Amino acid sequence: MTITETLIPGVLIFDPKVFNDDRGYFFESYSKKVFNDAGIDADFVQDNQSLSQKNTIRGLHAQAPPYAQGKLVRVLQGAVLDVAVDVRKGSPTYGRHVSVELTAKNHRQLWIPPGCVHGFLTLVDDTIFAYKVSGGLYNKASEIGLAWNDPELAIGWGIAEKDAILSAKDQELPGLSSFNSPFIYTR
């Protein structure tokens, strides 16, 4: 498995070694040893999966401490533009983002540590998105997030606002300037 660091400390891209033959393919999608060797001691507590149509944006979401979660995300079918934004106070990359295309064909995964909000845009219909979460179990009262289209974040989603499909909750999220992050950078 190849691990690539991004401009945000702790956000890592995982490219598994895929073994193809006439039957199809095989790859190791998670290895605790690989994670530990990369400095990640994650205790995964839940797996989640969603199905979305093209132009759906889910996010940007996180959970506040003590229910903060790390996420290992991937696409089982289809394709997404996946985005992580650093919201750790004191971080040299506070308010900056990383975006990575994850597809069922490239098998790429993204690790988003606690302290980052996360979201994705589906690029094709019937996209199945799956992720493992570490840390706390889901807690509705701990939900936090940022507006996907906040000009201060300047995320190049590649979609017109009028074409984006969002939940009512995601349409109400604040921008970075009015966001009071509960996370502190400790690296």
Q: Which of 30, 61, 67, 94 is catalytic?
A: 61
Task: Establish whether 131 is a catalytic residue.
Answer: yes
Omega of the bond prior to 60 within 30 degrees of 0, cis?
Answer: yes
DSSP H or E segment with residue 33: helix 32-37
Q: Which of 94, 118, 131, 138 is catalytic?
A: 131
Q: Count CA within 13 A, CB hemisphere, residue 21.
A: 4
107 catalytic? Reply is: no
Strand ranges (E), 23-146: 24-26, 44-52, 57-63, 69-77, 79-86, 88-89, 97-103, 109-112, 116-122, 127-135, 143-145
> What residues are labeled active site?
61, 131
